[in-house]
Structure 1
Amino acid sequence: MKKNKFIIGSGILMMAIGLAACGKTNSATETSNNGTTKPINWMETADLSTLDPSKVSDAVTSNTISNIQQGLLVSGNNGKVNYGIAKSYDISKDGKTYTFHLRDAKWSNGEDVTADDFVYGIQRTVDPKTTSQSSYDMDHIQNYDEVQKGIKPATDLGVYAPDKHTVVFKLSSPQPYFKYLVTGTDFFPQKKSYVESKGDKFGTSSDNDIYDGPFTMTGWTGTNDTWNLVKNKYYWNAKNTKIDKVKVSAEKDTNTAFNEYQSGQLDEMMLSSKEQVKHFKNSPEYHQRTNSGVYFIEMNEKRVPAFRNANIRKAMSMIINRSQFTKDVMGDGSVPARGIAAQGISYNNGKDFTDASYVKDAATYNKDKAIQYWKKGMKEIGKKSITIDLLYDDTTLGKSVNEFLQNVAFSQLPGLKVTTSTIPMKNRMARQHSGDFDITVAGWETNYPDPISYLQLMTSDSSSNYGKWSNKEYDKLVKAASTTDANNKEKRWDDMVKAEKILMNEQGIIPFYQRSQPQVLKTNIKNVGYSATGAMWYLGDAYVEK
C-alpha cells in the first residue's frame, strides 16, 4: 500500500495471487449434505502483516481487518460511507466537533463494545510508543502534535467518551474528509484490558485478537499464508451475515491461481496479465474495478548522493515509457500515472485534480530529452557512471516491474547500472521504512477521495517519504490545505494544485502507473462490497445464490 491509507505497498493491490492447489475440492457453488453453503474460496495477494489496527500499513491486511473488525463508519460502494458501530453522528457548524452515537455491539468474547474502546484505540495509535505508520490520519485531532512529540500524554488527545455510547472528537481545524478517515483501521476500537493482557503478542496471530466485525478469524499463526473468516455470532448485525466461512489464502504464482479458478477451487480472482484479461473479457464473471492505487518510484536521496540532483531525477522519470508498460506488461486496464494522486477521485468545478495539477514533462516519456538531463546531471555530480539497486516485491508482477525498469527503461541511460532485489512484500516494506534501499517502487491507496491523502506522503516529516525529498514551500502548502484553508474550498484546491506541481517539477518522486483491477467472480456470489477508496472488499453483506 494511506487507507491514509494504505501504503499500498506495491504488491498490495496486486490481487493476482491464488490459493494453494493442494487439498481444496469445494467451491461456493456446492452445498454440503445438510444443505449449508460450502465456504467461499477467496484469493489474496500477499501474507498478512499484523492484526493490530494501530500498525496496519498495507492494503491486503487492511482488507482483511475491515471484515473482522468494524469502526464507527464503513466504506461503501462508489465512495459512499455507511454506518458501522455508530448509528448516527453530528457535526458542529464550525466543522471542528464530531459526535458519534453508538449502537449496542459486542466483541467476539461477549463483552460490550464501548465508546472507551474507540478512545483507547485512537490514543494508542497516536502514542509514539506504538510507532504507528498511519497516526498522521489523526493530525487534526486536538493536541495531536504535542502527543506525538511526547509533550503531552496520549490521554490528552482531543477524543473522549462522555458516556458508554458517545464518542466526541475535537479537531484543531476543520477537516472536510474526516468522515472517511474514521472508516480506517487506525480508528477502530481496541479493548484496553484485552490489549494489555496480550502485551507484545496482541495482533500477532488470530488467537491473539478479539473481533467486533461480521467475521472472526481462525487459522492465522502470524507467519502462514492461509486464514479463515468465520461468521461472528456476536456481531451486532449477525442476522444479516449470510456467509458462514471464507477460506483465504495468499499465493505468489498467478498461473496457479488461474488454474484453480478455472477448476472451481477458487471462487474469486484478480486477473494479473493481459492474457488472463483476454481470456475472461467477455465472460459474465468479469468485472473491471476502478482503483485509487497509484504506484510511484522513490529515489533515496539520503543514501544515494546522485539522487539529490534534480536533473538525474528528471532523466530517470522521462526515460520510462509508461504507456508501453501499462499496455505490454500490465495489459489489465491500468493507466500511466499523471502525478502522485489518482485520476477520477477528486474534482473541483468539474475538473479532475490530475488535470489541474498535471506537469507533462514529469510523467511523459522522452528519450532524447531524458538523456540530455542525464548527461547534464552526471556532469554536475562529476560522475561517469553510477550503480543502484532496485527494490521490489517477489510476486509475478513485481518481478516483471523490476525487469521492465532494469532492462527496458533505465538501460537507456548511459553509465547507469541497475541491479535488482525482489523480496517478500512484508520485508520490502520494512526496508523502505528503515531507508534500506537505493531506489524502490512504492504506492498508495487512499481511504478517502481527496488529493491531500497522496500529497501528505511527501512532506518532509512524513514517515512514508522514504526517499527524503524535501521542499519547504511544498510543506507549507500541504499544511495550509489541511488547516488554515480547510474551510475555503477554492483556496484549499489551489494549495493542493500548487503543491503537486512543485513535487512534479522537482521530480520528488517518479509517477509510474495507476492500478485498475480486473476481477473474475463466480456469478452465484452476490453483493460483494467494493470500494476504490478505503478497504477494498467487504463481505459482510455478501451471499451465495443457490
Structure 2
Amino acid sequence: MKKWFSALSAAALLFSLVTGCSENASQNAQPASETSSTEPMVLHWSITGEPPTMDPGIATDASSMDMINLAFEGLTAVNRQGELINAVAESFTNTPDFTQFRFILRRDAKWSNGDPVTAHDFEYAIKRNLDPKTASAYAYQLFYIKGGEEYFNGTGTPQDVGVKATDDYTVEFTLRSPTPFFRELTSFTTYYPLHKETVENNPKWATEAATIVGNGPFVIDEWEHKAKMAFSKSPTYWDKASVKLDRIEIVMIEDNNTALSMFENGDLDWGGYPSFGLSPDAVGQLKEEGRLLVADNPGTKAVIFNTEKPPFTNKKIRQAFAYSINRQELIDNILQTGVPPAYGWVPISMGLNPDGYFKEDVEKAKQLLAEGMQELGLKEFPKVTYYYDTGETDKKLAQALQDGWKRTLGLDIEIRTSEWKVFNSDVQNGKYDFGIWLWGADFNDPINFLEMYKDKAGGNNVVRFDNKKYRDLLNQSYYETDPEKRKKLMFEAETILMEEMPLAPLHFRGNAYVKNDKVKDFVILPLGGSYFKYAYIEK
C-alpha cells in the first residue's frame, strides 16, 4: 500500500538512471544552529493501531511500513523534497536497456548492533522474501528480478534468482525484462536488507523491540503492544549528522477524534495524515477555518468483492453494486477534500484512461441485479455484510453506501467493523463478503495497481480475481519495450478489470491534515507515508 515517488520525479529518474552518479544524503543535513538545544528533541506522534510486524519482507500495511522506515533503510531513499537519492548505495550503474543494475554500497553503513551492512544482506533478504515459506504478500514486487517469480512459484531455485553480491559492497541485479523504474523499486521495504543471524535465530524477531536489528536512522527502544512505541537516534547510522530528533514517542490511538484533541492540546506534534485520519466533522471544521491541507498522493479507494463468495461470484451483481453508487455525493458530503471520483482503478496521474471505464447508472444497476440473481437462481437477495476498519470516515462511508443500496437497489445490507490488524488479516484471508479497501502507490507506474490481481493466489489479490486474458496482457507488458504499446496492453487489462468489476472504485486518494508549523522537514512521501529522518522541532 504505499510509497515514495511523484510523477515529476519519476520523469527525472528516467534521465538520471543511465549515468548513475553518486549522491550524498548527508549534504541535506540541517545546520546545527537551527536545532541546537540542551534538552532532548522529542517528536510526539500517533498511529491508529498496532503494527502487525517490523519485518520489511512481510509488511503490507502503512503503519508497519512507516515504523520500518524509522529502523531500516534500502539502497535508495528520499531527500527533503521527496526526490529519490542514494542511501545505503553510494552509486549505481545500469545497462542502456535497463535489464542489469549494479549498486556499490557505502562502507560506513552499519547495523544497529555494529555489524557492517553488506551486499550479502541484500541478496539474503531478497531471496528470503521470495522463498515460498516466507509467504511474503509483496513477493511479486521482486518478480522483476530474473528467476524471482519462478522461485516463488516453486519452479525455480534461489540460485536462479538474478541478485548476486559479487563482493561485500557490490550487489548486481539481472532483470527478466527492461525495467526503467527498477531503481525506484529499491526504496521499497521488500528490497531492504536483513540481518541474517537475527532473522534465522528467532522466528519472532520482528515483533519485539529487544530483538530487532535494523540499519536505519533510528533504533526501536520500546514496543508496548497496542499502546506505544519509542525510537531513538541510531548511534551507528551512517548519516546520523542529518538526523536531528533524539527520540520519537508514538502512541496507538484508535479513535481519531481523541488523537485530534491531543494534537490541539499540544500532546501530539502532528494532526491528521499520515499520523491518523481526520473525521468528516473535523475536515469540515478545519476547512472552514482555512487550516485544511490535502496531500495529493496517488491511490484509489474502492469497494472490494470477495469473488469466491456468492452472490459476488456473479459479475452482474458486482456491476449492479458499482453502478448504483453516487460517488460525488460521498465526496461532497463525507470526504470534503475535493478528490475526484474514480471510474477506474489506476490513478488519473498515471495516465491510462483519465475518462474512466464506466459511469453510474441506477436503472442499469437494477437490471443487472435482476439478471445476476436469475443466473444464480435466487428469488431473494441473500444476507451480505459490508466490512470496514475502524475510522469515522470509513464508518460514514459504510452507512452512506448502506443507505444508497437500500434506496437504489432495495437491498438491506449489514455492516460491521474491526480494528485494523483484524480487518486486514480477515480481508487478506478471504474472511469477508465485501467491504472497503484503499491502495496507495508503491511506485509510479500503472503496473503497480494492475499486477496485484494478476494471479489468484498472488500477494494482495484480496478479491481473488482470476482472468487468463488479463494475466496474459500483463505478462506481455513486462516484456514490451515500446512505451505506447506497453501502455495499450495495460489499458486493455484495466478495461477487463473494470468490466469484470471485482472491485468498484469510489474515489482517488487525498489525505487531509493540519500543519504544525513547529515541525520542520517532516516528509510526507510523494506516494504516501511518513519519513522522519530529517524532521526536527523548531523551538
Q: TM > 0.5 between the two?
A: yes
* 1:173, distance to aligned residue in structure 2 (A): 0.9
SS at match of 2:348: coil
**1:117–1:189 Cα contact (<8 Å) kept:** yes
Name the aligned partner's letter for residue 286 of structure 2: F
Choose which of 461, 467, 473 in structure 2 pairs with 1:477. 473
**2:455–2:461 Cα contact (<8 Å) kept:** yes
Instruction: Quote the residue 2:184 is aligned against.
Output: 180
Name the aligned partner's letter for residue 296 of structure 1: A
Instruction: Quote the residue 1:437 is aligned against.
Output: 432
Choose which of 371, 394, 402 in structure 1 pairs with 2:366. 371
Choose which of 512, 529, 534 in structure 1 pairs with 2:506. 512
User: Does residue 65 of structure 2 align to residue 62 of structure 1?
Assistant: yes
User: Does residue 204 of structure 2 align to residue 209 of structure 1?
Assistant: no
* 1:405, distance to aligned residue in structure 2 (A): 2.0
**Alpha-carbon separation, structure 2, partners of 1:291 and 1:439:** 25
Instruction: Quote the residue 1:395 is aligned against.
Output: 391
SS at match of 2:412: strand
* 1:453, distance to aligned residue in structure 2 (A): 0.3
Query: Cα RMSD over matched residues?
Result: 2.4
Instruction: Quote the residue 2:299 is aligned against.
Output: 293
Name the aligned partner's letter for residue 377 of structure 1: G
* 1:284, distance to aligned residue in structure 2 (A): 8.4
**1:75–1:180 Cα contact (<8 Å) kept:** no
Name the aligned partner's letter for residue 233 of structure 2: K
**1:326-365 matches, cutoff 5 A:** 326-344=331-349, 346=350, 352-355=351-354, 358-361=356-359, 365=360
Name the aligned partner's letter for residue 316 of structure 2: N
Q: Deviations over 1:374-407 (max 9, x none)?
A: 1222223221222111121122233223222222
**1:4–1:447 Cα contact (<8 Å) kept:** yes
**Alpha-carbon separation, structure 2, partners of 1:3 and 1:322:** 26
Q: Deviations over 1:294-316 (max 9, x none)?
A: 11122122121x22322211110
**1:97–1:169 Cα contact (<8 Å) kept:** yes
**2:279–2:391 Cα contact (<8 Å) kept:** no
Cα separation, partners in 2 of 1:78 and 1:450, compared to 1, 3 Å: farther
Unpaired segments ≥5 residues, structure 2: 6-35
**Alpha-carbon separation, structure 2, partners of 1:498 and 1:538:** 36
SS at match of 1:337: coil
Name the aligned partner's letter for residue 65 of structure 2: S
Range 260-269 or range 458-467, more displaced: 458-467
**1:244-283 matches, cutoff 5 A:** 244-270=246-272, 272-281=278-287
Instruction: Quote the residue 1:145 is aligned against.
Output: 149
Name the aligned partner's letter for residue 408 of structure 2: Q
SS at match of 1:297: strand
User: Does residue 76 of structure 2 align to residue 73 of structure 1?
Assistant: yes
Cα separation, partners in 2 of 1:4 and 1:368, compared to 1, 3 Å: farther
**Alpha-carbon separation, structure 2, partners of 1:4 and 1:405:** 32
Instruction: Quote the residue 1:302 is aligned against.
Output: 308
Unpaired segments ≥5 residues, structure 1: 6-32, 347-351
SS at match of 1:136: helix
**Alpha-carbon separation, structure 1, partners of 2:460 and 2:120:** 30
Choose which of 101, 104, 109 in structure 1 pairs with 2:104. 101
Cα separation, partners in 2 of 1:206 and 1:496, compared to 1, 3 Å: same
TM-score relative to the length of structure 1? 0.87
* 1:187, distance to aligned residue in structure 2 (A): 0.6
Name the aligned partner's letter for residue 68 of structure 2: I
Q: Deviations over 1:29-80 (max 9, x none)?
A: xxxx973244111122332110111110111211121121100001456763
Range 183-192 or range 224-233, more displaced: 224-233
Choose which of 517, 521, 531 in structure 2 pairs with 1:538. 531
Range 308-317 or range 71-80, more displaced: 71-80
* 1:202, distance to aligned residue in structure 2 (A): 1.4
* 1:111, distance to aligned residue in structure 2 (A): 0.9
**Alpha-carbon separation, structure 1, partners of 2:80 and 2:367:** 46
Q: Deviations over 1:227-263 (max 9, x none)?
A: 1121111110101211111111221212212211111
TM-score relative to the length of structure 2? 0.88
**Alpha-carbon separation, structure 1, partners of 2:48 and 2:442:** 19
Cα separation, partners in 2 of 1:249 and 1:284, compared to 1, 3 Å: farther
**Alpha-carbon separation, structure 2, partners of 1:80 and 1:337:** 27
SS at match of 1:252: coil
**Alpha-carbon separation, structure 2, partners of 1:2 and 1:242:** 25
**1:295–1:515 Cα contact (<8 Å) kept:** yes
Q: Percent identity?
A: 29
Equivalenced residues, count: 504
SS at match of 2:489: helix
Instruction: Quote the residue 1:41 is aligned against.
Output: 44
